[in-house]
Amino acid sequence: MTHVAAPLPDGLSQEQMDAEVAKVQAGTDGAVHPPRGFPPYRSSTLRHPRQPLIPVRDPEAVELSGPAFGLTDVTALDRDLTRQHAGEPLGERITVTGRVTDRQGRPIRRQLVELWQANASGRYAHQLDQHPAPLDPNFTGFGRCLTDDEGRYSFTTIKPGAYPWRNHVNAWRPAHLHFSLFGTAFTQRLVTQMYFPGDPLFAHDPVLQSVTDPAARARLVAAYDHGLSVPEWSLGYRWDIVLDGPSATLFEEDR
Amino acid sequence: MSLVPTPSQTVGPFYGYALPFPGGAEVAPVGHPDLITVHGYVYDGAGQPVPDALLETWQPAPDGSRGGAPGSMRRDPVTGRIVGRDGVTFTGFGRIATDADGHYAVRTLPPGGVPYLCVLVFARGLLHHLYTRAYLRAEEDALLSAVPAERRGTLLAVEERPGTYRFDIRLQGPGETVFLDFG
Ligand SMILES: [Fe+2]
């Protein structure tokens, strides 16, 4: 089957996109988070506020507390995405583990970590994903776990494939895992993506490049850790996560 | 010790089989007499509804306690599937994906001690989530006094009929919602 995609609205080539990204990055200042308006990521154009955010420095703010999760929300099997169907999923079996802390380095204990991803072919189990790569009947691609008392999380899954998207001509996302994290406060909420080391698509991906500071981008890339690999079973990656934002305990210590 | 935070990335278009859960919008215990509904539309900068936004709400219990409770995503021990809340416990946490027409609705209890629900917005196209508040009463507080008068209305839910509040979110453009920075 030959695959012919409909033409893209502005038909920008990868080279033109890379140049546009470089130009935008040159005018930025090393912020940790991506700017909400990042023109090379076309979907951001109409979906970010143009007014400045209003600062809230109120120690009574409800957002300094946050939702709680526990035993009833997660089962021990949820952390293993390769055990959700009758058979083994296709792909390279991996484990991903790390610590979740706040900005002060304190562990985020007993909090919810959610992970979702494409399968080994780069296809999501979502009906709107029409990438002509096979679905895997043995892989859904969603897991969750609670951090332990040291803030550690751990997942067993398969390495996802890269996939195309319609941001510009020949746009491909590097392989990534989507993560959702809760801290002790709603202000520490984080949704992000973890990447795999050495991916040649990094330089061509406006989503990763929206983090304009190279050192900040590097914090989205896991490290291969041979000590975490299990003989004749799986490859191990380590990725630590630091949640931004104040919490009620932080305000108490500041006063 | 001061660590550098992990950067945010967009939730993307394909979280729908992973993050929303049955009963995510049913924060109030079943049949509770004080139930309120907060609903509205999410719009983009062209005034078009956003069909793939994910909202989360967080609030104190009616007695003012802010500890929340586990059990938003209770599991079926046989299948492992999420069966949702037990219909009794108030967890304070809601998660709602917008419909194809950009609409959301959350059924909850009035927050204790404050006049607002905390609202968090995720969407494809949004590289870093946005915080806002849905005020159920126009009670002066630190935030409402800090917001320029002409934008204050974007934080106020409108009581359409007793117990039903309309709160639209405009990501950009005329009537853009006030979004918050907690530093
Ligand atoms: Fe993705």
Domain spans of chain A, in order of start: 14-47+73-126+135-242
**Predicted local distance difference test score (pLDDT) of residue A15:** 96
Q: What percent of chain B has pLDDT over 70?
A: 99
Size of the A and B interface in Cβ pairs below 8 Å: 247
User: Which ipTM did the prediction report?
Assistant: 0.97
CA-based nearest distance A229→chain B, Å? 24
- For residue A97, give the DSSP letter: E
Q: Which residues of B touch A62 (CB under 8 A)?
A: 58-60, 66, 111, 114, 116, 118
pLDDT digits (tens, 9 = 90+) for A12-42: 999 999 999 999 999 888 899 999 999 999 9
Q: Do A105 and B3 touch (CB under 8 A)?
A: yes
pLDDT digits (tens, 9 = 90+) for B45-64: 999 999 999 999 999 999 99
Catalytic: which of A41, A163, A195, A237? A163
The total number of residues written for chain B in this structure? 183
Residue A7 confidence (pLDDT) above 70: no
Cα of B10 vs centre of ligand 1, distance in Å, is 9
- For residue B13, give the DSSP letter: S
- Banded model confidence at residue A184, pLDDT cuts 50, 70, 90: very high
Tokens of B27: 């924060």
Q: Do B5 and A32 touch (CB under 8 A)?
A: yes
Tokens of A192: 């992000």
Residue A151 to residue A74: CA distance in whole angstroms: 16
Residue A167 to residue A206: CA distance in whole angstroms: 9
Q: Do B183 and A71 touch (CB under 8 A)?
A: no
Could you tell me how far CA B113 lies from the centroid of its own chain? Answer: 18
Class of domain B26-170: mainly beta
* Known catalytic residue at A163: yes
Domain A14-47+73-126+135-242 is classified in which CATH homologous superfamily? Aromatic compound dioxygenase (2.60.130.10)
Phi-psi region at A14: left, alpha or beta (left = phi > 0; alpha = psi -120 to 50): alpha
pLDDT digits (tens, 9 = 90+) for A185-199: 999 999 999 999 999
Tokens of A152: 């550690």
What ranges do the domains of chain B cover?
Answer: 26-170
**Predicted local distance difference test score (pLDDT) of residue A254:** 42
Q: What is the pTM of this model?
A: 0.96
